[in-house]
Structure 1
């Protein structure tokens, strides 16, 4: 390969042992046995290289040499054409000839970096170019000064390919680790893939994150996954449900007691880790101001590189439209701005219904592991029923339905008859909604009796579904007129028959 710029060819100097006796009297190896110069290993084929040069002759020489090394080449002669190709195709290496004279070099370099984190840049500059010594340090690139040899060019090309492959391998390992850390976020639809990618990007950042999503869509799981994927993964992750605390208890939980012997507070307990402010929209306005000041101090500390604020990443989660609340005066604008450094959106289940079979399998697997029995199967009709339901309660509602169905179906496949009673009826008109006009006591009785009926009078299953104690359930049934457990009529069917006969 000829030198591509000045016409002067500089081959690297090769040292050889002379034949004949050495000054010490010992013979040396003959010149024919001297080790040949080590040629750089050929790069792996099918690499894509973008070659830019405003000079046709130099561009052709560069492109021909790259092709001889088994790589695919795309040639371009202007910054606009280079930007066009970068937007259409992925390249492992971008060669920029005459880089010290290329206009818009900053724009081209920024496009390459945004195009691919693994793409490597080779800049060819003049030997006496100040650009090569002063500007290049601000770039992520390797520099070749004219004149250079074929060996020098080949070595630089091989080095760039190795760097690109190493970065790609590292990215794949990060993605595999990310998938393990986000195993609870079950799903393979485009919405879930986009969410995982957003979490991966946010994990490398340290700004405050706002997780938005409907109730039951998994905002807490997203926050936990974000923490596990970040550099803070080995440090504590603490959650505060703001809806359960008054201003005083929130302040105490965050800041703790003043005395050294008292409660230290989450700001000290989570040092180096993350704090989730769940249901942040429920924080009272007086405490919102203090939260805003705390987040402002942290943002300033990050910007200035100081350690004045707590070393904690704040994550906030909400099911509400905070912008609307701010317009209504129920949420502070400054707090909203500090919380919205990065925003993650949890997709509702109705927009990713193709994930329902995976979610059902996941929940059944968890239940089987807890119970120590083989996983149950799901009948086709039951699965179709689940896939066609609108799921206003999102993933949490689906999980509850599967848990209740597994409680009823002790063995065998889960059929549609075990699923249908637990699905919410969203077709009811507003004036005919079940429960309207009933007292809380009446609604409680209706819920307990209907669940007892669906469980065929099995008190253990009923208590498990309602998540209450067996003694509490028996007391409620006794209050409703059911005989004590073990006596005639304690079973729902017998009791119902007796009441009808009466």
Structure 2
């Protein structure tokens, strides 16, 4: 589809000759011979580009430009000016015009400027769309059943306003990415997102970090700092007994008591993550059962990358594009043989390992086509998997059904067993056989 260009100029002969030349060059043209009429036409038709004369009787080009930039900020405008109106043209550029041409001008120069402007605008729109999708999806990429289900669950949690989410999965599966995605959906990018790894500090330190401390140098706690947004606690299983008790008290009452005696009632969403089986921690006596039950109100089990290998190619492309932009390099590309190798690897470090590999290749071989021989040794050493058998497909379908039942049952095995029409013991044996902890 050819681009549409609106010409706003009070010189009728010039407007018509410009329109004729632009149509010959393959563009669609709209014409207006006054500022007020041209402004209305632009709002109605929303052209791809505007050629605007600076000096016109009545409503001037400067006034038209100012209004267009307020109402259609993404619309590119090229101003045209007589030689004695150069100062006005410079003012127009400061107001948002992409460039200006002095009359009389060469038609080839105008066509080149139009082509460049439209190309840059299209690139900008693509980048804006990509950024918007990134904000919406927060890199939760993948078309595999586990990822589609995860996106659905996160969206449902954000829409319904659940107060707490429990993220479970192996190290490197992307729990922090999911936490931030939930935050963006539930609270928005402007709200505070506060995170801390509970395993990096001692019991007293983590308690002070969460709830603040008084003394000569009082410090505000992270629970208070997350008011209006999201508090994300990594490795929740590492919390000591006192911190667990205070978290439980906050979830029960919605308030925290400071050392000064003041009582605060921060409104926030709590997202917690664990690399371990919290039920096993409860059984071992290292984690409070009542706190686990409260945290597990909305559990999300994140599949390891080896269980969604069909997402590897999409992840590689996304990471290559992002890392190239960050480092100022050209993105690496992957040959079919390389992608075949990558899609056969077990990825013990999960998505984090994949991202690290793409980052290393981006630094060492920017813009290169990566063949399988350039992949890390551990990936090259792994034998390519044989074609999927009927047994493999049945196992995959069975695994997806069990995962779906567990998600719907929010991790409660008895309820999930009822959904599947089997006993709880049969479900446990099935989970062991399918390597589902």
Under a length normalisation based on structure 1, what TM-score does the superposition of the two structures give?
0.46
Question: Partner residue of 1:194?
Answer: 149
Question: Partner residue of 1:254?
Answer: 210
- Which consecutive unaligned segments of at least 5 residues does structure 1 have? 1-175, 301-306, 428-502
* C-alpha distance in 2 between matches for 1:317 and 1:289: 18
Q: Is the 8 A contact 2:140 2:177 kept in 1?
A: yes
* C-alpha distance in 2 between matches for 1:179 and 1:366: 10
Q: Offset of 1:258 from its aligned partner?
A: 2.4
More helix by share: 2
Question: Partner residue of 1:230?
Answer: 186
* C-alpha distance in 2 between matches for 1:347 and 1:324: 19
* C-alpha distance in 2 between matches for 1:405 and 1:231: 36
Q: Is the 8 A contact 1:219 1:317 kept in 2?
A: yes
CA distance change for structure 1 residues 231 and 404 in 2, over 3 Å: closer, same or farther? closer
* C-alpha distance in 1 between matches for 2:205 and 2:252: 22
Q: Offset of 1:289 from its aligned partner?
A: 2.0
Equivalent residues in 2 for 1:69-80 (5 A)?
none
Deviations 1:11-56 (A, max 9, x none): xxxxxxxxxxxxxxxxxxxxxxxxxxxxxxxxxxxxxxxxxxxxxx
Question: Partner residue of 1:388?
Answer: 344
- Give the greater-gyration-radius structure (CA): 1
Q: Offset of 1:343 from its aligned partner?
A: 1.1
CA distance change for structure 1 residues 239 and 261 in 2, over 3 Å: closer, same or farther? same
* C-alpha distance in 1 between matches for 2:255 and 2:162: 10
Q: Offset of 1:179 from its aligned partner?
A: 7.1
Question: Partner residue of 1:263?
Answer: 219
* C-alpha distance in 2 between matches for 1:293 and 1:328: 22
- Residue 343 of structure 2: SS of its match in structure 1? helix
* C-alpha distance in 1 between matches for 2:293 and 2:335: 49
Q: Is the 8 A contact 2:338 2:371 kept in 1?
A: yes
Q: Is the 8 A contact 1:401 1:422 kept in 2?
A: no
Question: Partner residue of 2:288?
Answer: 332
Question: Partner residue of 2:435?
Answer: none
- Residue 315 of structure 1: SS of its match in structure 2? strand
What is the aligned counterpart of 1:313 among 269, 281, 293? Answer: 269
Deviations 1:443-484 (A, max 9, x none): xxxxxxxxxxxxxxxxxxxxxxxxxxxxxxxxxxxxxxxxxx
Q: Is the 8 A contact 2:255 2:266 kept in 1?
A: no
Q: Is the 8 A contact 2:324 2:362 kept in 1?
A: no
- Residue 210 of structure 1: SS of its match in structure 2? strand
Q: Is the 8 A contact 2:329 2:362 kept in 1?
A: no
Verify: 1:354 aligned to 2:318, yes or no.
Answer: no
CA distance change for structure 1 residues 299 and 266 in 2, over 3 Å: closer, same or farther? closer
* C-alpha distance in 1 between matches for 2:303 and 2:233: 20
* C-alpha distance in 2 between matches for 1:242 and 1:353: 31
Q: Is the 8 A contact 1:276 1:316 kept in 2?
A: yes
Q: Is the 8 A contact 2:341 2:379 kept in 1?
A: no
Equivalent residues in 2 for 1:5-20 (5 A)?
none
CA distance change for structure 1 residues 260 and 228 in 2, over 3 Å: closer, same or farther? farther
* C-alpha distance in 2 between matches for 1:209 and 1:388: 32
- Which consecutive unaligned segments of at least 5 residues does structure 2 have? 1-130, 257-262, 384-437
* C-alpha distance in 1 between matches for 2:382 and 2:205: 38
Q: Is the 8 A contact 2:335 2:371 kept in 1?
A: yes
Question: Partner residue of 2:240?
Answer: 284
Q: Offset of 1:261 from its aligned partner?
A: 5.8
What is the aligned counterpart of 2:359 among 399, 403, 409? Answer: 403
RMSD: 2.6
Q: Offset of 1:400 from its aligned partner?
A: 1.4
* C-alpha distance in 2 between matches for 1:401 and 1:225: 23
Question: Partner residue of 1:377?
Answer: 333
* C-alpha distance in 1 between matches for 2:306 and 2:266: 39
Question: Partner residue of 1:168?
Answer: none
What is the aligned counterpart of 2:201 among 226, 241, 245? Answer: 245
Question: Partner residue of 1:495?
Answer: none
Q: Offset of 1:426 from its aligned partner?
A: 7.8
- Residue 226 of structure 1: SS of its match in structure 2? helix
203-212 or 237-246: bigger deviation: 203-212
* C-alpha distance in 2 between matches for 1:360 and 1:208: 32
Question: Partner residue of 1:182?
Answer: 137
Q: Offset of 1:379 from its aligned partner?
A: 1.5
CA distance change for structure 1 residues 342 and 411 in 2, over 3 Å: closer, same or farther? closer
